[in-house]
Copies of this chain bind each other. A is one copy, B any other.
């Protein structure tokens, strides 16, 4: 059976325990691990490495595709093993260390990390650890994500392969691994359609570089997606209605443009919402496929979906594995450098749907920093998509913390996406179409359609007072962040709120 998985006899001699593999990793090293959105991450070497770190106070620079499961980031962070981390994370323990300044987090555009590695901006990669369905003479067949694994394999001095027997051999053929040449000899990425193949079905790797192979049976951490609620259903409805109207206006065809949906429950609900929308023949060009994407394929709404990872709940992963032969012609996984590449996103004219933490009245979006200071997860691919999209949509509920936080504020406390990169904002109350509008016009639309009614008057009052002072983007600069300061101090953004006891947790991401 291992012959099917480890297809070169001499490689089978390199099978070791996870502990032995982890012993290749030393203090101060830079380690590139597979995994994107807790899909295709390594399962046992990180655990062994955490163990080793506890004994030897080892600290590494950890690079991945995007977030990885708790048993990578969480366990390594608990062991104090993460000195530096890039380009994305979503782990509670690691997040605490990042916000305490104990772990240095370098929050990068997901498309750009491979470039920066090749360019030498991020230093050399010592060891790559890559989960695989199989390994052979020509390279590695990855599992549920491609992420940055191809660039790690190319640049690392040594590679550790985790063969995961839980990952069906049928995954082979699902990947399209195209690795751009280093600049200045770069060719255009030939992709002109979401479904096109331009690469190899495996990650090319000289087997000489494989220092160790570990065999495991541990599955991906299941992805927890909250089911649609009344607010996210309303958001999905507003967006579907808007898109239907764009079709009626002749700006879009009935199969729209390739869709990207960010990670998370709201974006997932938006996809669910499209099922009932009557759209057919849609395609997805995204970074992560969640349950909603599988749902859209199953209902015939989506013809084809590509991304860098498939991150599913247990139920949907079971469905996906059982139906692999059916999904094979409809799903493709690419390196994140390709799935998120500005070149391709712009060319295909992607409709990008991402989640905002907060938006301001001028259409700037914060998607990372709670209270302007505390990192939630990272910018991820949202900037890759929002800047280059045909249409860049941000979705958020209008309120948080029982209404003590308004997601529509005078000025965002941190900017991830500038107004130019935000075409449409949707909350449960409605949709603001910002295309072709100046800031003062944007403010009217966002307040009227997106803000919770209980905050609209104060927002209008702010705009009126600010506009009286003049400016292209009017602000009362001394009050622009007062809502955030008030929330921090008193537990509510509302000016008329009775004072609450300040809480330690106020700036802690949920």
Q: A residues engaging B (CB < 8 A)?
A: 84, 86, 98-101, 104-109, 112, 115-116, 119-123, 183-184, 186-190, 192, 249-251, 257, 341-343, 346-349, 364, 369, 371-375, 379, 383, 387-388, 390, 413-416, 418-420, 423, 435-438, 440-441, 466-467, 469-475, 477-478, 480-482, 484-485, 488-489, 507
Contact = CB atoms under 8 A, between A and B. Distances in A.
A473 B378 CA distance: 12
Contact of A183 (B109, B120, B188, B347): B347
A473 B373 contact: yes
A112 to B, nearest CB: 8
B472 A369 contact: yes
Given A99-B471, A120-B249, A186-B192, 8 more contacts: A109-B420, A119-B349, A187-B192, A188-B192, A343-B347, A375-B472, A414-B473, A418-B418
A438 B104 contact: yes
Nearest to A104: B438
A351 to B, nearest CB: 11
Contacts of A84: 438
How many copies of the shown chain assemble into the complex?
Answer: 2
A470 B347 contact: no
Given A192-B188, A440-B101, A478 B485 contact: yes
B371 A507 contact: no
A507 B474 CA distance: 11
Contacts of A413: 475, 477
Nearest to A253: B184
A368 to B, nearest CB: 8
19 contacts: A101-B470, A106-B438, A107-B419, A108-B420, A123-B436, A184-B348, A186-B348, A188-B190, A372-B475, A373-B466, A373-B477, A374-B472, A379-B418, A383-B387, A387-B387, A415-B418, A418-B418, A469-B507, A470-B507
Contacts of A364: 415
B188 A343 contact: yes
A104 B474 contact: no
A423 B121 contact: yes
Given A106-B437, A436-B106, A119 B251 contact: yes
Given A119-B251, A188-B188, A435-B116, A474 B373 contact: yes
